[in-house]
Amino acid sequence: MPAMPQCGKAGLTFCRTAVYSGHFREGPVVRLVKRYGGGSRKLYDTEESRYVSLDEVAGWVREGQEVQVLESGTGEDVTRQVLAQIILEGERQGKSLLSADLFHDVIRRGEAALQARVEQLQEGVDRLVKASVDHLPPVRDARDEMEALREGIAELEQALRELEAPAPRARRGKGSTTARRRRAEG
């Protein structure tokens, strides 16, 4: 197995992109945290070479940082457990963003429940945005103008079709201008 990348000020960028999992990993920048056993379950940030709290890890995640947590003894990925622990701690502190119904669904149906709730949330947000945009005066005016333009274009197209259509031939006979002219000349 390759050796663990050394993290320090000079190798900071390298450390954040080279997550130890038996090989180097490509993709988003991942912050590697090791969890040490025992009763305390300490978390060690390999980037800053210091112990960190669960709240600090939660802060990194909220800021958009990708975090991977490995069990120090076995190398087992325990990221999901630590993230679940962050949610649990938030619940204990009254910082809940998730409803009891969601937790029931997750326990009953697992990932499918989460996906369904995310889709419901996305649909709700989409409806809200669409309704909000429809009520904005400039958008409403733009829609009215677009409709007027469509009608104008349709009228122009009809006029062009009429101009391009072959003109009906004038009748030649007693009542026609050509016939009268011939008679007058003749």
Comparison of pLDDT for 58 and 96, the residue scoring more: 58
pLDDT at 48 over 70: yes
Contacts of 66 (CB under 8 A, 6+ apart): 28, 29, 30, 31
Rounded CA-CA distance 98/91 in Å is 9
Rounded CA-CA distance 4/19 in Å is 8
pLDDT at 44 over 70: yes
Rounded CA-CA distance 21/36 in Å is 16
Q: Which two tokens stand for residue 45?
A: 């940030």
Contacts of 176 (CB under 8 A, 6+ apart): 170
How crowded is residue 103: how many other Cβ atoms within 10 Å of its Cβ?
A: 14
pTM above threshold 0.95: no
- Residue whose entry in the numeric block shows the structure tokens 């004038």: 170
pLDDT digits over 56-95, tens only?
Answer: 998 998 888 899 999 988 889 999 888 888 888 888 888 7
pLDDT of residue 101: 80
Give Rg (Cα) of the chain: 36
CA-closest candidate to residue 25, choices 68, 82, 78: 68
